[in-house]
Amino acid sequence: MKQDNIIIRREMPTDYAAVEHLTREAFWNVYRPGCLEHYVVHVLRQAPDFVPELDLVMERDGELIGHVLYMRAKIVADNGREIPMMTFGPISIRPDLQRQGLGKYLLDYSMELAEELGAGALCIEGNIDFYGKSGFVVAGTKGIRYHGEPEQEIVPYVLLKELQPGFLDGITGVYHTPKGYYVVKDTLNNWEDEVTGFKYQSYVLCPVRVKNQRYLC
């Protein structure tokens, strides 16, 4: 995609280091001391559920300013069926360009591609104030629960969007975050030490996506 001086294209291996640096800068000290998101991007590219066609970078005048990637995911329906769908994130915008609508621009374009690739729905953890502008609703209001949470609880940060109208009609069940979004502190520290020669603060085992998380867009 090209509009004005903005280009959105697939990420290439030559972009990897710059994308990880961009992601680190976008999330550093936002949700915790340091961040995990840049390492998650590194891990997800090697995950079996990774969707390379939806691993996208945004450039302005030839400079990298944004990135998003997608993963295949599933809802385990209450009748035992597994409903294939997708999720995405981290979505990153260069810090000095955040809150200018670029994140929504990248997101909306990527969702169009996801629909073209056959994704019927998306489920994410995020802030409804941002993602609601792109048509997301709280998943629990549509009968979709979050794994690891109480059965009857509507979790406000688990969001859903149908890309194909009616895709989830009559379906209730549990959304499962792909395993690649969970990282271990020692693995992160060893990677940081190997790549940068500098070891960041240790982290506990946890999902990158946390309650009430809002990607900076």
**Is residue 98 in a domain?**
yes
* Per-position DSSP letters for 144-209, written without gaps between them: EEETTS-TTPPPTTEEEEESSTTTTTT--EEEE--GGGEE-HHHHHHHHHHHHS-------SEESS
**Is residue 124 in a domain?**
yes
**How many residues comprise the chain?**
217
Instruction: List average pLDDT for each run of 10 residues in the chain, which is 217 residues long.
Output: 82 96 86 79 93 97 96 96 96 94 96 98 94 96 88 87 97 92 60 46 35 36
pLDDT number for residue 189: 55
- Model's pTM, two decimal places? 0.84
Range of the domain at 25: 2-207
**Is residue 216 in a domain?**
no
pLDDT number for residue 212: 36
pLDDT number for residue 208: 41
**Is residue 49 in a domain?**
yes
Q: In the chain, how many domains are there?
A: 1
**Is residue 217 in a domain?**
no
**Is residue 212 in a domain?**
no
**Is residue 213 in a domain?**
no
In this structure, what CATH number is given to the domain that contains residue 67?
3.40.630.30
